[in-house]
Amino acid sequence: MTEFVFAPPAPASVAVSGSGKRFPVRRVLCVGRNYAAHAREMGNDPDREPPFFFTKPADSVCDSGSAIPYPPLTDNLHHEVELVVAIGKGGSDIDSGAALDHVWGYATGVDLTRRDLQDQAKANRHPWDWSKGFDHSAPCGPLVQMAHSGHPARGFVRLSVNGEVRQDGDLGELIWPVPDIVAFASRSIELKPGDLIFTGTPAGVGPLVPGDRVRGEIEHVGSVEFTIAGA
C-alpha cells in the first residue's frame, strides 16, 4: 500500500439523485461554443468546426444548494447552464454509435466563467484556465442514472436568476450532440469512469452579482440551484 506524506484529499464527487451514494469525479471536461446562438453572441461564426475542449479541476464541482463566494480577480462573473454527461465506462477511440454505452448519467450544471479574464486571455492568446477553472466554478445538480433509451436528445435547457429567465435553449440545438462529444474527447484522451463533460451553453449568458439566486434546469434531467455570496 502506498504511503503518502500526508493524507490525500477526499475525491471530488457529485450527488446522485434519489440515492445517498455519490459519484466520484475524476476530471471535468468542458466543450466550447456548442450552440449556434451562443457562438454568435460571443462573436463567432458557428460553422460546425470540430468541438474544442477545456478543463476545470475536479474539485471545482460543488453541490446544488451551495452559497458560492463571488470569486476574486473578476468584475464580470457569468452563468452558463449546461447538460453534464457523467462517464461510467472508460475508453479510447470510442465510436459515436457506441458512445452512449459509456454514459452513466446526466445532470444540470453551470460553467461559471470570469468573462473579463476570458476576454483578456483571448486577446493575449493566453490559456483559459484562470477564467474557467477557479474554485467553485462548476456547480452541478444531482446526477440521474440513465439507460441508453433515456438519453435526453431534446428538452429545454433553462437558467433563471432571481426568478427571471435568462437562458432558454433546447438540447436539440446542440451543434455536436452527446455521442459525438464523447467520441471526440476519447480520441484525445482515454476517458475513464468519473469523468464529467460539460457540453456547452445556449445563448443568454450574462453577469451574476452577490445575492443572486440562480436556478438551472434541464427537461428530463433535473436542476441545480445556488446563490452568489459576497466576495
- Kindly state whether residue 64 participates in binding Mn ion, applying the rule CB under 5 A: no
- Kindly state whether residue 80 participates in binding Mn ion, applying the rule CB under 5 A: yes
Among 25, 111, 183, 191, binds Mn ion (CB under 5 A): 111
* Residue placing its CB nearer to Mn ion in the complex, 80 or 217: 80
Nearest residue to 108 (alpha-carbon basis) of 153, 63, 78, 41: 63
Rg (CA), the chain: 17
Q: Work out the angle at residue 66's Cα, subtended by the Cα atoms of residues 63 and 68, and round it to the nearest 5 degrees.
A: 115
Distance, in Å, from the CA atom of 57 to the CA atom of 205, rounded to the nearest integer, reads: 22
* Residue placing its CB nearer to Mn ion in the complex, 16 or 217: 217
Residues from 191 through 230 that contact Mn ion (CB under 5 A): 201
Distance, in Å, from the CA atom of 131 to the CA atom of 100, rounded to the nearest integer, reads: 30
**Only segment of 39-47, 108-116, 183-191, 208-216 that touches Mn ion (CB under 5 A):** 108-116
Taking the complex as a whole, how short is the minimal distance between the CB of residue 98 and Mn ion, in angstroms?
26
* Residue placing its CB nearer to Mn ion in the complex, 115 or 215: 115
- Kindly state whether residue 133 participates in binding Mn ion, applying the rule CB under 5 A: no
Quickly count helices (H) and strands (E) in the chain.
4, 18
* Residue placing its CB nearer to Mn ion in the complex, 25 or 157: 157
